[in-house]
Amino acid sequence: MPGQTSRIDWITPSQGPIAGGTTVAIRGVASLCDPWLSELERVPRKQRTPLVLTRAEVARLLGAMTGTPHLVARLLYGTGMRLLECLRVRVKDLDFETGEVVIRSGKGNKDRTTMLPKVLSVALRHHLEGVRSLHDRDVAAGFGRVWMPDALEEKYRNAAGTWGWQWVFPATQRSIDPRSGIERRHHLSEQVIQRAVHEAVRKTGVAKPATPHTLRHSFATHLLASGHDIRTVQELLGHTDVKTTMIYTHVLGLGASGVRSPLDALEGEPTPGED
């Protein structure tokens, strides 16, 4: 009936980056058919509680991994990066002096900075020595130019072949870029890390179905459990709205404010995530 508001979960997608745009388009078409249909609303997406590992579970998981996947997993937990953000890091984005890593074009196409764990300094430097040797061999073979965003490739025509623009985690083999037809070395595939984490979960017997993204959730939760300000965690994660970060306070059972009662600390209530 005119004036009534209905819900249209049967025709709008429940998730994905185009969901909002799809809803607008559907409302536009619906309004042409019948004016009252333009008042239809999407059913709100259900906010799911993120899967989080305890510190002990993270230690077990990382302890069961080796090689480059092990280093990537340590970075995910130590920085809070998303998997693809981590694999897209370039050599120039690591700053060992300031202890920072710059994340370029993250979710929402935004850049941000997060901490670079000091304990990874030696391992990362050693890893980069191997990457440098690989790059030098590619250059000697007539390759060594990585993919760059179109605008930057036009502005800095020689940058693609320089050391600073190389991937920190390059693929083991060169491949043909389907966009340009050029043979080059892309960054490591997400599937390599996903499979390694899955295998580590199986080996350790961790009951939770952890994925690489679980390490990001654990990073945020453990920071909050240690008493870090929620706004700081929001910035490190790259969340536009603090409400997105607030979900981790519910995981901790800290309430909406994200604050732990001083009485709990006084009388020995353990900090969440310590088990």
Place of tokens 């959730």: 217
Name the catalytic one among 216, 217, 222, 260.
216
Buried b (16+ CB within 10 A) or exposed e, 194-215: eebbeebbeebebeeebbbebb
Name the catalytic one among 27, 60, 107, 250.
107
Question: Is residue 216 annotated as part of the catalytic site, yes or no?
Answer: yes
Residue 21 CA neighbour count, 13 Å, CB half: 3
Name the catalytic one among 88, 184, 187, 239.
239
* Residue of 254, 258, 227, 253 whose CA lies nearest to 242: 258
Name the catalytic one among 82, 185, 187, 260.
82
Name the catalytic one among 74, 88, 112, 248.
248
C-alpha angle with apex 119: 226 to 193, nearest 5 degrees? 90
Question: Is residue 213 annotated as part of the catalytic site, yes or no?
Answer: yes
C-alpha angle with apex 85: 218 to 48, nearest 5 degrees? 40
Contact in structure between 185 and 171 (CB atoms under 8 Å): yes
Name the catalytic one among 174, 213, 228, 250.
213
Question: Is residue 203 annotated as part of the catalytic site, yes or no?
Answer: no
Q: Show the tokens assigned to 209.
A: 């179905």
Question: Is residue 198 annotated as part of the catalytic site, yes or no?
Answer: no
Number of neighbouring beta carbons within 10 Å of residue 86: 26
Q: Could you list the active site residues?
A: 82, 107, 213, 216, 239, 248
